[in-house]
């Protein structure tokens, strides 16, 4: 009786800008604890088998489905946890949750296996983890017997930002630790008056987007109700290939895949059905401090607050102020005599908004994307599989960067058509290749890389290598790169 976690890590988290960026979205950020949201999603299953031995649950390593551009972030998150993945499936382009689950089910059934899949978004938070594991254990028993199970969040307010699930009659099953109900259907995000009615009726739950069902059951259902998604996903998977620790889909086949959610593609078709050829659809209420952290106001609600209701993160100070969220990542942030504000400071952008207008942050990100602003996609510090770099100064024909290379890692063997580079070692030891020469540099030593030279930077040491890089030339874009060798199999569009 095996449980296969499936972590869906395709979200962009634009409503949490400026901390969350397209190239580094919220699931990779430590927003609610010292661990990132992706790490918390994996860690909250720890102890499942020990706490609920009667279910005899064998917990497998997770399957992760993510954007191709985020593959090294996912790998680094698991490395830092000391955990393994069963597979990391890379989507060339996001196609919503139904294709993602189909891909995960195909991976989980390779070799004839048929585990129960626990499908979880990577960017949610749950405060009461034992309650979550108890609900998962009950859901596992039902799913193992062929049911399709979803988890509905017990609502605490008439929230208009969530979809709702309507529960039917109780569904009894042997040894249940919690409650379970027949699933009657899904409801779109309501207006305030409708949401108030839902809350008063006691029949409605928030839609968590968490599901549990057998891999074979999902593959049968998606073929039946959305054969186009099933076929395109299967083609993309069968024609894909493994590259290192990742599974790369066939981009052309996946581009033909329609975009749809698990709910719309399948679950709403079987909700309330009692036919012999339709699996039972069941909802388990979950009252465990769940939040999708879909806006800054939601983060304020789940974080620890002071006596005046303020959440302070970083070098922040308040006086005569209440119910504010202040996040300082680079400089001190002070607030005096203000209430119900969101202030988020990063090295390259500052957000100030009223807490009740938190959803409107999407207007900012839409503007940044439309204007092709760098602040939409990247932080000032840009992460790469070998480490990171950040710009610390620039002009019309020069740019200064700080590079940090992890021990044992190296940049690709490369060449630039339009820029020269000067490297000064600040910390650690660098191994430099420049055309036919290879040599070591230590602290306070420097070298010059002429335009057109074939070069590589490596860190052979046991501590991080930090260098200051001065670029000069007629064009300084990250796409001015020709790779000759690269340990990470990247293209030019991914920069250095």
**Cα–Cα nearest to 466, from 425, 422, 407:** 425
In angstroms, the CA 280 to CA 257 distance is: 27
**Global confidence as pTM:** 0.91
**Cα–Cα nearest to 204, from 179, 191, 185:** 185
Number of residues assigned to the chain: 496
List the structure tokens of 205.
């739950």
The sign of the torsion formed by the CA atoms of 320, 358, 350, 121 equals positive
The count of C-alpha atoms lying within 13 angstroms of the C-alpha of 83, restricted to the half-sphere facing its C-beta, is: 24
pLDDT 10s per residue in the chain (496 long)?
899 999 999 988 899 999 999 999 999 999 999 999 999 999 999 988 666 655 679 999 999 999 999 999 999 999 999 999 999 999 999 999 999 999 999 999 998 999 999 999 999 999 999 999 999 999 999 999 999 999 999 999 898 888 999 999 998 876 555 689 999 999 888 899 999 999 999 999 999 999 999 999 999 999 999 999 999 999 999 999 998 889 999 999 999 999 999 999 999 999 876 666 788 999 999 999 999 999 999 999 999 999 999 999 999 999 999 999 999 999 999 999 999 999 999 999 999 999 999 999 999 999 999 999 999 999 999 999 999 999 999 999 999 999 999 999 999 999 999 999 999 999 999 999 999 999 999 999 999 999 999 999 999 999 999 999 999 999 998 889 999 999 888 876 677 7
| φ and ψ at residue 344, rounded to 5 degrees | -125, 120
Instruction: List the beta bridge partners of residue 403.
Output: 389, 467
In angstroms, the CA 109 to CA 115 distance is: 8
Place of tokens 């990171």: 388
In angstroms, the CA 145 to CA 166 distance is: 23
């Amino acid at each position: 009786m095996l449980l296969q976690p499936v972590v869906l890590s395709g979200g962009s988290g634009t409503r949490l800008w400026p901390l969350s960026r397209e190239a580094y979205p919220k699931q990779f950020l430590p927003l609610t604890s010292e661990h990132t949201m992706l790490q918390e999603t994996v860690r909250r299953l720890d102890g499942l088998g020990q706490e609920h031995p009667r279910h005899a649950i064998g917990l497998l390593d997770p399957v992760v489905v993510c954007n191709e551009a985020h593959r090294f972030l996912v790998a680094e998150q698991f490395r830092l946890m000391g955990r393994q993945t069963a597979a990391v499936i890379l989507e060339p382009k996001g196609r919503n949750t139904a294709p993602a689950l189909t891909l995960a089910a195909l991976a989980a059934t390779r070799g004839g296996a048929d585990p129960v899949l626990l499908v979880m978004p990577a960017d949610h938070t749950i405060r009461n983890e034992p309650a979550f594991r108890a609900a998962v254990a009950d859901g596992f028993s039902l799913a193992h017997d062929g049911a399709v199970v979803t988890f509905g969040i017990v609502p605490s307010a008439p929230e208009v930002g969530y979809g709702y699930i309507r529960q039917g009659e109780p569904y009894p099953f042997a040894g249940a630790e919690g409650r379970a109900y027949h699933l009657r259907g899904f409801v779109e995000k309501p207006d305030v008056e409708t949401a108030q009615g839902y809350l008063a009726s006691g029949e409605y739950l928030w839609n968590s987007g968490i599901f549990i069902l057998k891999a074979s059951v999902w593959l049968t259902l998606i073929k039946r109700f959305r054969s186009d998604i099933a076929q395109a996903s299967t083609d993309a998977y069968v024609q894909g290939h493994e590259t290192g620790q990742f599974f790369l889909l066939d981009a052309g086949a996946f581009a033909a895949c329609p975009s749809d959610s698990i709910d719309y593609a399948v679950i709403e078709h079987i909700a309330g059905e009692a036919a012999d050829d339709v699996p039972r659809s069941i909802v388990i209420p979950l009252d465990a401090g769940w939040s999708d952290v879909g806006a800054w106001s939601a983060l304020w609600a789940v974080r620890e607050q002071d006596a005046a209701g303020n959440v302070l993160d970083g070098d922040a100070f308040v006086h005569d102020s209440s119910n504010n969220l202040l996040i300082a990542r680079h400089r001190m942030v002070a607030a005096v005599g203000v209430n119900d504000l969101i202030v988020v400071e990063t090295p390259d952008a500052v957000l100030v908004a009223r807490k009740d207008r938190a959803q409107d942050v999407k207007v900012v990100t839409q503007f940044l994307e439309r204007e092709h602003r760098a602040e939409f996609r990247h932080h000032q510090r840009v992460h790469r599989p070998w480490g990171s770099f950040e710009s610390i100064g620039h002009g019309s024909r020069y740019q200064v960067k700080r590079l940090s290379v992890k021990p044992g890692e190296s940049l690709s063997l490369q060449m630039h058509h339009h820029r020269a580079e000067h490297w000064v070692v600040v910390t650690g030891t660098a191994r430099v290749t420049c055309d036919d020469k290879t040599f070591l540099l230590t602290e306070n030593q420097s070298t010059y890389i002429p335009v057109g030279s074939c070069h590589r930077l490596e860190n052979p040491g046991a501590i991080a290598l930090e260098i200051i890089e001065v670029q000069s030339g007629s064009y300084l874009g990250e796409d001015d790169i020709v790779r000759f060798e690269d340990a990470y199999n990247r293209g030019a569009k991914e920069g250095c």
